[in-house]
Amino acid sequence: MCREVGARHVQVQLIQYTPEPERTVAAAARLCYAPIDAIQLLEQLSAAQIERLLRQVIRSGHHSVLEHASFTFAIGGISRVTSHQLVRHRLASYSQQSQRYVSYERIEYVTPPAIAGDPSLLTRYETAMAAAHELYVDLQQAGVAGEDARYVLPNATATNLVVSMNARELRHFLTVRCCNRAQWEIRGLAHAMRRAVLAVAPVLFDDAGPACWRGPCPEGHLSCGAPPPRD
């Protein structure tokens, strides 16, 4: 086993999603009030009708129909700090690279900008990462199983996941995690996920993001006072 460590950057790719997500959601919404069935609605709804229906549903807060569209992301290079924050969102589905079953010949890790911007702190940080990895390797060479050796790995260690969310949960996730109150790493992840879904479902997601993009900030005295720019 070699003793390599290296910095890692987040990668986000939308790898699957419900075909025609906006038509699917609009048909579900219209079905509730239509004398015809969903197949006919799927065929008959015009682009203008779809947009009008979606905006009405989102504005009214009748969001259960958004659950009919699902989005699956391949996410790589986030820290274990951020993956822990991510999996707190309970209405999503997750598969995460296992530190029990994957033995890391090369440890990759995330460096916070506040540390990367200070050369002397960065040197100490990189030294600590290298030392943790060296101990991880030594423990395994001494016969300790990977599932126990991993206890010495830092929170900064990079991880890979596949994450699926329906549009309702994704809009909620983007509300709380695109907000400036969210930590920089998960905020960057959320904005990248937003950009990815905006490309395939612009009406479903053009107002998705921090609450202040849609109205007053709900954070009270914790408000940042400065809405993040839209992508």
Ligand X SMILES: Cc1cc2nc3c(=O)[nH]c(=O)nc-3n(C[C@H](O)[C@H](O)[C@H](O)COP(=O)(O)OP(=O)(O)OC[C@H]3O[C@@H](n4cnc5c(N)ncnc54)[C@H](O)[C@@H]3O)c2cc1C
Q: Please report, as ranges, the residues that interact with ligand X according to CB under 6 A.
A: 88-91, 169, 172, 176, 181-182
Q: Which residues pair with 71 in a beta bridge?
A: 17, 165
CB of 168 to ligand X, least distance (A): 8
Residue 182 or residue 217: which is nearer to ligand X going by CB? 182
**How far apart are the C-alpha atoms of 208 and 172, rounded to whole Å?**
8
In the set 177, 181, 187, 194, the catalytic residue is 177
CB of 220 to ligand X, least distance (A): 13
CB of 151 to ligand X, least distance (A): 22
CB of 206 to ligand X, least distance (A): 21
Q: What is the DSSP letter of 229?
A: P
CB of 227 to ligand X, least distance (A): 15
- Using DSSP bridges, classify how beta strands 4-7 and 106-109 pair: parallel, antiparallel or unpaired: parallel
Residue 38 or residue 94: which is nearer to ligand X going by CB? 94
- Using DSSP bridges, classify how beta strands 11-17 and 4-7 pair: parallel, antiparallel or unpaired: unpaired
Residue 133 or residue 171: which is nearer to ligand X going by CB? 171
Residue 202 or residue 218: which is nearer to ligand X going by CB? 218
Using CB atoms, what's the residue nearest to ligand X? Answer: 89
Whether 177 is catalytic is: yes
Residue 114 or residue 142: which is nearer to ligand X going by CB? 114
Cite the active site residues. Answer: 177
